[in-house]
Structures are given as structure tokens and as C-alpha cells.
Amino acid sequence: MAGEPSSTKDVRQQAEVTGGASDGPTAASPTSSEEEHENSLGGSRLPMSGLRVIDVGTFLAGPYAASILGEFGAEVLKVEHPVAGDPMRRFGTASKRHDATLAWLSEGRNRKSVTLDLRQREGVELFLKLVAKSDVLIENFRPGTMEEWGLGWEELRQANRGLVMLRVSGYGQSGPYRRRSGFAHIAHGFAGLSYLAGFPGETPVVPGTVPLGDYLSSLYGAIGILLALRHREVSGEGQIIDIGIYEAVFRQMDEIAAAYGLFGKVREREGAGSFVAVPHGHFRTVDDKWVAIACTTDRMFERFAAVMGRPELAAADRYGNQRQRLAAREEVNRLVIEWVGSLTREQVMRRCVDGEVPVGKLNSIADIFEDEHFQARGNLARLCEEGLGEVVIPGVVPTLSETPGRISNLGPPLGNATYEILRELLGIPAQEIRRLRQRRII
């Protein structure tokens, strides 16, 4: 979701899943907390150590890029309004912490919260001082909002010529729709993804109940930041990265643009199947569970026919090649539905795995918690939070062999690092900090 204007106990991670990026030049030096992280990893320096990132966005689109950088060593300062904070704190399932939903605890990871009112002149001045000592700025307000606050690119660039700025919004910084509100759900529809989700002739459905566009735009944002930092190594100059949430979704839409441009073909909803292969879909087992089966080549189907005990189905005069199978889609799917429906999920899984047929469970989150592969890969990170006990969140991706990423803390309490950052990083006297707090600048 693109944003609209508007003390944690020490934690432990039971399993570390990793990722990374190349070192970029930085105006900031590693903090003592970063050095502690390095020591805890056997002295290895994380790829983004020494990088300071300001996340001034709200919700997910954009801020998730800061989460990724933070997992690999960057110091992330979450700048929030002194009273309300990031609306993500109140989005999703409530926890026992009054300022933190489960969504915030997970996606606010690896941050220090600094409160500043950017609608007040002194708040803007303090923010520019932070920018001068940072490397990356991430924002996701409607285009023009930062400029209205006196924090447009020219002001930011004057404070720090090497600043890299990620700007994520629903429709990007240019174009006729630039000022429209943007959320992942809207982007899924605008980019063409939601049109394809569901069964033929029925109402298009939400493609999963997660804000996929927010995560995708942030992934592209993280890539853009790394590219811009690489450019800065050579030139010393920062730059703007401009991403519309819909663009990140549209980029995932495989051949639909080429098919329409060349042949005028409009892909329609296909339910659980695929127009490119059969059998290729979701099938119910006798114990009322589901499996996904994908046979995209003739050789795969030959193996599957053998697994079903029907090797004759792969004969040249039956369904032995893809064109024949696609022409007889309903009949082939009927045979698979009958076979899968006569067995339990574990029986289908075992027979297909043994026969080298691509198969997978349609897992609920309960299934995921029990799955040995998720456990072995460290995909479920377990951290202890004061007052909550153990909190399980998705682990770090990708996995790096030499400099694995880490989760240092869950989403922080509002303003937990304001005094530290203003006093130690900006050198503001304690008396002045008290005055700023009394005036609600922080």
C-alpha cells in the first residue's frame, strides 16, 4: 500500500535465512549495534553495514525495501508522526502491545523509530539534518506531498548530494494518474492481474489476500537502491528511483502484452488450470485436501501416466503430446480428478514424488508450521518479544553463504530511538530535545 499524508527486549532468532547485496559507499559509519551484529555472526561484516536508511513511508510499498536492507546490515531509521506513527501499527491482527499489530511486528523489523512532525518547520529542519547523515531515503506518499512539506528533491539534494531516494506510489511520479491514491489491491486490477484470477465467466477474485503489489514494488525498489548506490560509487551523485506499484505487478505478466500486440489475444480467467499445459492445476484428494500437479512436457506426462497405473494414456494415439492433451483438456483432467480423488494427499504426494512428477501440497499456514522443509530452511524465524513471548515471522530471503542476513528486532515501539538519534547522531542537547518534545515536534 502506498502511504497517504496523513523498548523492545533483546531478541533471539532461532533460524537465520539470508540474502544480500553489494557494499555501497556511505556517509555513515557503522553503529555499535551493527558491530554487535557482526560479532554475533562470527565477525563477518554484513553487505549493507555502514549504510543508513531513512524510511519515512507508511504501510508496505517502499518500506519493505528498507526491511530488506536492514536484514543485511543497514541501519534503518523509521521516521514517524509523534502521535499517530505509521498506520501499519494498527493494520491487521492486534497484539498485546498497544502500538503494534502482528503485521507491524513482522514488517517493522530491524528498525529504530524516530518521531518527527514533518508538517512543522522545525520538524523539517531536523529531518534535513538526518538526510545529511544518511545514504538512502524511502517515501511512498502521493506525488507532490514531500514537496508541499518543503522536502522536494532539490531541498534534499542540497542537504546531501549523494542521497539515493526511492519514491513508490500507486501510479508513479508522472503521468495523468500520478495524484490518484494507490494500494496493492488497486494495482492488481490496473495491471491486469486480478482480471486473470478466478474461474471462467465468474467474478474476478483477489489474487490472494496479501498485498502482493506492495512487496513486488519494494523488491524492485531494493534493486533500484543497489543500482543507484553502485552508480554513486563511480560518480558520487545520488538519484531518484521512481516506481508505480502497478508497474511492479505488470512486469510479472509474462507474455500477455506480446500476445495481444501481435495477435489481439486477450487471456481470460482459467481457474486452477493453465492454457499452456494439461494436467496443470489443483486437485482434491479423498481426505478433502488439495495438491498442485504440473505436467508441462510430454516426458512429464509419460511419467505421470505410469504413476497413475495408466501408461497407455501417454501413447502416440492417445495423449502423448501436448497438442493432443490440450485438445482433450476436459477428458485428461477428468482422469486426473478421478485418480487423485481416490487417494489421500500423502498417497498422491508419495507416488508422484517417487515417480518424479511435479507435485506440491496446497498448504495452509498450519501445514507450513509443520512442514520439515520450512523448518530446515529457516523460513520461520522465531523471536522473543517482551510481553508477547515467542513471535514467529517469515525469515530472511535470500540465503547468502558468507554473510547471512539477520533479524535484530521486531517492529519497534513508537519513538523508541528518538532521543538516541537526536542526541548521539545529530548532537542536539538534552534540554533542546525536551523542548522539542514539549512542542510536539518529536
User: Of 184, 178, 197, nearest to 246 (Cα)?
Assistant: 184
Q: For the chain, how many residues are written?
A: 442
Nearby residues of 257 by Cβ (< 8 Å), 6 or more positions away: none
Q: Which residue type does 203 have?
A: T
Distance CA 135, CA 253 (A): 33
Sign of CA pseudo-dihedral 203, 204, 208, 214 = negative
Grid coordinates belonging to 208: 490472494
Amino acid letter for position 30: P
Distance CA 319, CA 384 (A): 55
380-385 and 389-394: which strand pairing? antiparallel
What CA–CA distance (Å, rounded) separates 226 from 215? 17
Kind and range of the H or E run holding 165: strand 164-169
The four Cα atoms 377, 61, 34, 441 give a dihedral, to 10 degrees, of -150
Q: Half-sphere exposure (CA, 13 Å, Cβ side) for 424? A: 9
Coil vs helix vs strand at 422: helix
Provide the 10 A C-beta neighbour count for residue 251: 12
Could you give the angle at which helices 345-354 and 298-307 cross, rounded to 10 degrees? 130
Pairing of strands 290-294, 359-361: antiparallel
What is the side-by-side strand order in the sheet with 280-284?
280-284, 290-294, 359-361
Tell whether the torsion through CA atoms of 200, 201, 204 and 209 is positive or negative: negative
Cα torsion 21, 23, 29, 34: sign = positive
Candidate list 23, 86, 214, 287, residue with the active-site label: 214
H/E element, 329: helix 329-340
Residue 214 a catalytic site member: yes
To the nearest 10 degrees (0 to 180), the angle between helices 63-71 and 212-235 is 60
Neighbour-count burial of 288, counting CB atoms closer than 10 A to its CB (0-12 exposed, 13-18 middle, 19+ buried): exposed
Place of cell 530511538: 417
What are the catalytic residues? Answer: 214
